Chains A and B, each alone.
Chain A
C-alpha cells in the first residue's frame, strides 16, 4: 500500500460567461494525473508555469476543489473536503511559495509558529513558548525573536519561519510549493539543505514542486514532468536526467545552463538539435489539442507519455 496515492486527479476551473453567468467552458488545470508516493522520499514535480503543478499540490491538501479522481492517504480516501479530518490536517502540511504573503503580517512569530500547536495540542503558555523556541532553533532563526513581526525578517528567515510552522506538528508529508523560488540563490541552498536535513531526522516525505531542474536534481529521488495538466514523463532522477524519452523532457534538460564557456558551442548545437527534434516530432508526441498521451511504462520506475503508435 502506497503512502499517498493519487488516481486520475482532475481539477477543472469553470469559465463563466454569457448573460446568466453560466459555465461556458473549463480550464483543465490538472487533467488526469496519477502517482504514488512512498514514505521518506522526495518527489519532484516539474513543469512550466501554468502546467498545473501547484494546483496538483493544492488539490491534495484541500485548497482546491477536486473535479474527479481519488486521493488515498495511508489507505484512507481523503478526496472529499469533509473527509480531510484533523488527523489528515496534522499529517500533511504545506510550505508556500511566497514567504512575504504566507505569514500573517499582523501576527508575531510566536503566534505564527504556535498556530498549528494551538489547533492540535493543548499546551500551557510556557510549554508553547518553549516549543516555538525549539522549532525556531531547528530552522536557525534566533529564538529570541519570537516577539518580532514577519516584516522584520529577511526573505530567507521568513521562509524558514514558514518551514518551522510546517514541521511544528511533526507531519508525515510536506507539500513544498516552490519553496525557494522567491529567494536569493545563496539562501536557496541554505533552505534546501535544511529541508534535506530535517527530512532524515523526521522521516518526512516531500512533494517538491518546482520549475528549477537543478534544484530538483539535487533534492529529489523521483521526478515527474508536467505539461498542460498532464504528466509527460515520470521516473527516478537518473531515469529523467540520463535517459529522457519524451521530447518535452529532452528540451527541458537541454535548457539547463552550463557555466563552462568551453562547452558553449557544444551546448548550442545540442540545443539546436533538440529543438529540431521537438518541432519535427511534435505531432507524434502530442494530440490535436497539444496534450500529452497516456503514460506507458518502459521500465520498473520509468513511465513516459509515448506516441500511441509506439
Chain B
C-alpha cells in the first residue's frame, strides 16, 4: 500500500473525542467565551510576567504607601508601597501555576493509583483503598499549616507539592470505580488472553476508555484548586508576601482600613478569582456534557 493511500484513509476517520469536545464547546457559547477568556488571561499574565521583576515589585517603598490608582501606579499601592497591578499579574500567574501544577500532580498520581487499585481488585484494592481512607481522614489543613512552618524555602513549587499530597484521593476513588467496571469488559479480558502485560492493559487499553472522565474531572478540579490556594493564602498559611498570589492580595482585606477605604488592593483580585473559577467551571461543564452522549448539545 502506498503512503498516500494510508494518509487518505487516516483522514477519513470518524470524529475523534477531541473533535466532539471542540464541537460541544462551540455550541455552548458561554463555555466558548469562558475558554477564550481563560486563554487570553493566561497568555496576558504569563506573557507580561516575563517583563516584570518579582523581587522589584515586592520591595517595600515607604514613600509610596497606600497610593490610590493613578498615573504612577495603575492600581495603586498596598501598605508596603508595592505596586498592586504588578502583584496582581504575578499573583495571577502564581495562582494559575499552583492550580495547574496541583491538578496535574495530584491527577497523575490519583489516576495511576485508582487504575492500579481498580484493575487488580481483590486484596490489592483492599489495601490501597484503606491507605486512601487513611489519607482522607487526615486533617489536611492542620498538616499543611505544619508544613508551612517546617519547609524553609516556601514558593509555588513546594506549595504545589504539599497540596498535591492531599488532593489526589478524590480522583483516585473515581477512577478506581471506573477501572473496576472496565476490567470486567471483554476487551480487557481479551487483551489478557492475547498475552498483553497488565501494565499495558491498564495504561494502553483501559485508560484510553476513561480519558473523557479524566479530562472532565481534571478541569473541574482545576477550578477547585485555584480557589483552595487562595483560601489558604487568605488564612495566612499559603504563600508568603514575597511570593504574591491572588490569595495574599485578598488577605490584605483582613485589615478593616484596607477593606473600607482601599478597594483597589482587594477588589481586582477578588473579582478576577471569581471570574477565573467560573470560567474554568463553565468549560468543565461543557466537557462533561461532551463526554456523555445523552447530554450533548452539539
- Residue on B with the closest CB to A89? B195
A101 touches B185 (CB 8 A): yes
A132-159 near B? 1/0 per residue, CB < 8 Å: 0100000000011011110110000000
Residues of A with C-beta under 8 A to B195: 86, 89-90, 116, 119-120
In the complex, how many angstroms separate the beta carbon of B230 from the nearest chain A beta carbon? 37
Q: Distance (Å) between the CB of A134 and the closest chain B CB?
A: 12
CA distance A96 to B14 in the complex (A): 25
| Contacts known (A106-B209, A115-B196); A96 close to B190, Cβ less than 8 A | yes
* A89 vs B197: C-alpha distance when bound (angstroms): 11
**Which residues from chain A contact B187 at a C-beta distance below 8 Å?**
101-105
B interface, how many residues as a size bin? Answer: 20 to 34
B208: contacting residue among A98, A106, A116, A119, CB under 8 A: A106
Question: Complex Cα distance A229/B212, Å?
Answer: 41
Interface contact B191-A133, CB-CB below 8 Å: no
Q: Decide if B194 touches A116 in the complex (CB within 8 Å).
A: yes
Q: Is B153 an interface residue, CB under 8 A from the partner?
A: no
Q: Which B residues are CB-close (under 8 A) to A103?
A: 187, 190
Chain A residue at minimum C-beta to C-beta distance from B206: A104
Q: A104-B187, A133-B1, A147-B13 are in contact. Are A89 and B194 (CB under 8 A)?
A: yes
Taken residue by residue from 75 to 112, chain A's Cβ proximity to chain B (1 for < 8 Å, 0 otherwise) reads as: 00000000000100110111011100111111100000
Q: Which residues of chain B in 165-222 are interfacial with respect to chain A, using CB atoms and an 8 Å cutoff?
A: 185-187, 189-197, 205, 208-209, 211
Interface size class of A (residues with CB under 8 A): 35 or more
| Interface positions of B from 79 to 99, Cβ below 8 Å from A | none
What is the interface of chain B mostly: helix, strand, loop, or mixed?
helix
Within 8 Å CB of A102, what residues of B? 186-187, 189-190
Determine how close the nearest CB of chain A comes to the CB of B8; give it in whole angstroms: 10
Shortest Cβ distance from B13 into A: residue:
A147
A115 and B194 in contact, given A148-B13, A149-B14 (Cβ under 8 angstroms): yes
A123 to B273, CA, bound (A): 53
Q: A106-B208, A152-B14 are in contact. Are A101 and B186 (CB under 8 A)?
A: yes
A219 on the B face (CB < 8 A): no
- Nearest CB on B from A53, distance (A): 17
Binary A-proximity of B211-250 (CB < 8 A = 1, otherwise 0): 1000000000000000000000000000000000000000
Q: Does B9 contact A (CB under 8 A)?
A: yes
Residues of A within 8 A of B191 (CB): 104, 115
The answer to whether B193 and A119 have CB atoms under 8 Å apart is no
Instruction: Name the residue of chain A whose CB is nearest to the CB of B205.
Output: A104
In the assembled complex, B10 has its CB within 8 A of some CB on chain A: yes
A291 to B194, CA, bound (A): 35
State whether the Cβ of A69 lies closer than 8 Å to any Cβ in chain B.
Answer: no
CA distance A102 to B188 in the complex (A): 8
A147 touching B196 by the CB < 8 A rule? no
Which of B1, B14, B195 has the most chain A CB atoms inside 10 A of its CB? Answer: B195
Q: Which of B9, B14, B194, B209 is A165 in contact with, Cβ under 8 Å? A: B194
A-side contacts of B194, CB under 8 Å:
89, 93, 115-116, 119, 165
In the complex, the answer to whether B185 meets A129 with C-beta atoms within 8 Å is no
**Residue of A with least CB distance to B17:** A106
Interface contact B190-A144, CB-CB below 8 Å: no
The answer to the question of A307 belonging to the interface, with a C-beta cut-off of 8 Å to chain B, is no
Instruction: List chain A residues, Cβ under 8 A from B14.
Output: 148-149, 151-152
Q: Does A62 contact B (CB under 8 A)?
A: yes
Query: How long is the Cα–Cα vector from A89 to B191 in the complex, in angstroms?
Result: 11
Looking across the interface, which residue of chain A has its beta carbon closest to that of B11? A147
Q: Which residues of the partner chain A approach B196 to less than 8 Å between Cβ atoms? A: 115, 119
Residue numbers in A under 8 Å from B185 (CB-CB): 101
Q: Which residue of A lies closest to B191 (CB)?
A: A115
Closest B residue to A175 by beta carbon equals B193
A170: min CB distance to chain B, Å: 13
Contact of A149 among B1, B13, B192 (CB under 8 A): B13
Interfacial chain B residues near A90, Cβ < 8 Å: 195
CB <8 Å contact, B193 and A89: yes
> CA A94 – CA B12 in complex, angstroms?
31
B interface with A by C-beta (< 8 Å): 1, 5-6, 9-10, 12-14, 185-187, 189-197, 205, 208-209, 211
Instruction: Please give 20 more A-B residue pairs, beta carbons under 8 A apart, in addition to A93-B193, A148-B14, A149-B13.
Output: A63-B192, A63-B193, A86-B195, A89-B193, A89-B194, A96-B190, A102-B187, A103-B187, A104-B205, A104-B208, A106-B208, A106-B211, A119-B196, A120-B195, A129-B1, A143-B1, A147-B10, A148-B13, A149-B14, A162-B190
CB pairs A–B below 8 angstroms (6 shown): A61-B193, A63-B193, A93-B193, A101-B187, A102-B189, A116-B195
